[in-house]
Amino acid sequence: MLTLTRNPWQLDTRTIVLSAIFGAMVIALQLTGLGSIPVPNISGSMTTLHIPVILGAIIGGPIVGIFAGVVMGVNYLLLPATAAFGPITLIVPRPIFALVAWLVFRALRSNTALAGAAAGGIGTLTNTVVTVGIAILLGQVPVEVVPAILPQAGIELVASAVIVPIIAVAVEAALRARGG
């Protein structure tokens, strides 16, 4: 299991450095084009930006995940294609799904692979449900768009449930090998 001996809400040098690293991963994915993969649906693209947010939460703790989530939301706010949705829809869901991913991982932490898969899948689902839910409540999109979003949401969920545990297990093995 990934080390959780320290206070997860402690703001120390480790937390600040990990926040910067995972925030930078979000920015790098977007700048390289790997953060928004074009797909033929209403959103126009499938995101991978949630993956470093979830990884930040489970590796670095809730503060790291929340910071990376805010970076993800601000990133979307700066993009012309999504900026019209505004900060409530684009920023608010990101720290929420990071926190959910951390809580799921923490609850299942005795099995890193299972915890990573569950945190990846449930964190991704939370991101989609909260973001689309806010957009519907604010009248930014009609509820009728939900069926069009489901295939994309499913692919994002599966990708996270596969990628996150692989990385979590690798990080755990590396920490164990160095005695951490």
pLDDT digits (tens, 9 = 90+) for 168-180: 999 999 989 987 5
* Distant-in-sequence, close-in-space partners of 73: CB < 8 Å, separation ≥ 6: 87, 90, 91, 92, 93, 94, 95
Interhelix angle 13-32/62-78, rounded to 10 degrees, is 30
Residue 38, H or E segment: strand 36-38
pLDDT at 151: 87
Domain assignment of residue 120, yes or no: yes
Split into its structural domains, the chain has a count of 1
111 in any annotated domain: yes
Question: In terms of DSSP H, where are the helices of the chain?
Answer: 13-32, 50-60, 62-78, 86-90, 93-107, 112-137, 146-177
Structure-block tokens of residue 129 = 């449900």
Report pLDDT for 111: 96
As a whole number of angstroms, the distance between CA 140 and CA 33 comes to 25
> Does residue 6 belong to any structural domain of this protein?
no
Q: Which of 87, 96, 88, 34 is nearest to 65 (CA)?
A: 96
Mean pLDDT value across residues 111-134: 97
Is-contact 104 122, C-beta < 8 A?
A: yes
Each residue's pLDDT tens digit, 135-169:
999 999 999 989 988 888 998 999 999 999 999 99
Q: What is the CATH number of the domain that holds 82?
A: 1.10.1760.20
Phi, psi of 42 (to 5 degrees): -65, -35
Residue 77, in any domain of the structure: yes
- pLDDT tens sequence across 6-58: 789 999 999 999 999 999 999 999 999 898 888 777 667 788 999 999 999 99
Confidence check: pLDDT of 118 > 90 = yes
Average pLDDT of the chain is 92
Residue at 3 is within a domain: no
- What is the mean predicted confidence (pLDDT) over 81-89? 90
**Is residue 87 in some structural domain?**
yes
Provide CB contacts within 8 A for 127, sequence distance 6+.
50, 93, 94, 97
* Residue 5 is assigned to a structural domain of this protein: no
| Residue range 93-105, pLDDT digits in tens | 999 999 999 999 9
The residues, ordered by sequence, that sit 6+ positions from 11 with a Cβ below 8 Å of its Cβ are: 63
What confidence score (pLDDT) does residue 2 get? Answer: 66
Segments forming the whole domain that contains residue 36: 13-177
Q: Is residue 75 part of a domain?
A: yes
